[in-house]
Amino acid sequence: MLKKLFSREDIDNAVKKLASLIKRDFDDEKIIFVCLLKGSFMFTSDLVRCINNPSRVDFMRVSSYGNAMTSKGEILITKDLEENIEGENVLIVEDIIDSGLTLKYVSEVLRKRKPKALKICALLDKRARREVEMEADYVGLTIDDGFIVGYGIDFAEQYRNLPEIYIVEKD
Q: How far apart are the first and last CA of the chain?
A: 6
Indicate the residue among 27 and 133 with the shorter CB distance to ligand PRP: 133
Please give the order of strands across the beta sheet that includes 147-149: 2-6, 165-168, 147-149
Q: Does 101 bind ligand PRP (CB under 6 A)?
A: yes
Q: Single out the residue of 14, 18, 96, 165 in contact with ligand PRP (rule: CB under 6 A).
A: 96
Q: Single out the residue of 85, 97, 136, 165 in contact with ligand PRP (rule: CB under 6 A).
A: 97
Q: Single out the residue of 46, 88, 95, 125 in contact with ligand PRP (rule: CB under 6 A).
A: 95
Q: Does 71 bind ligand PRP (CB under 6 A)?
A: yes
8 A C-beta contact, residue 132 and residue 100:
yes
Q: How far apart are CA 56 and CA 89, in angstroms?
A: 10
Indicate the residue among 54 and 68 with the shorter CB distance to ligand PRP: 68
Just list the catalytic residues: 98
8 A C-beta contact, residue 122 and residue 96:
yes
